[in-house]
Amino acid sequence: MFQIFYEEKLITILMLSLLLCSIAGRIIIGILYQNMIKETDNMAATKNKALKQCKLKFANCCQLNSRVSNIPIFVDKFINRLRFGPFSYLTVYHLSGQLMLLAVVMAGVGICKSILLGRSIGDILPFYIVSFLGLYLYFAVSAMADIKGRRRILKTNLVDYLENHMASRLAENGLEEEEKGGSARREGRSKIELMPMHKEPARPPREEEKQIFSRSEEKELEELLKEFLTS
């Protein structure tokens, strides 16, 4: 019954390879999302490089713009940029579905070729069986991986951490720096106010303020006046 797989080696190999690659893609993306979800439980000590980059980029945005206005959009952009090798997670997710369709197409090619060669229904039945089993296995793995659900959980965890923990901590640090800067400015002003003012140098007495006659000259004038008055 399954002798047709031996007769159509190329079609069989392509069909099974595409089927396995499509299932492996869903499993890999599901595992990567699950690992990131576990890391978000302890974001402060996470070792995940992608999550570290997310924290660093968020801190830089807060320092440049004082805050991030729409954190959910920031998280969506971060998740959309996640990569597995040269491909993004979204690309692998959609590519997995396309590979599954190609596997079904290859099974259809094998069936059409068998019909053209005059094979009976019993001979081409294995292609139908493999196609149905492959589709069942693919959808079963997709349901277990639940990539869309894990993506939502990851987004929720990241938004919660960035909005309720990291943003508030960065805001508190900014207020502390402003308070330190304000106290430093106040201390500088107080020091300037407490600095002793330079006294103006004493001006030399004017010539008008100096004594016009010395004491001996005053006595001579007094005697002359007395002689004048008595004469």
Q: What is the pLDDT of residue 156?
A: 92
Q: Can you give the residue ranges of every domain in the chain?
A: 3-188
Distance of CA 20 to the CA centre of its chain: 35
Closest CA to 161 of 84, 58, 90, 85: 58
Encode pLDDT of 112-156 as tens digits. Answer: 888 888 888 887 888 888 889 999 999 999 999 899 999 999 999
Residue 187: band (very low, low, confident or very high) from pLDDT cuts 50, 70, 90: low
Residue 96: band (very low, low, confident or very high) from pLDDT cuts 50, 70, 90: very high
Closest CA to 167 of 36, 61, 45, 42: 61
20-24, 52-56, 165-169, 210-214: the lowest-pLDDT one: 210-214
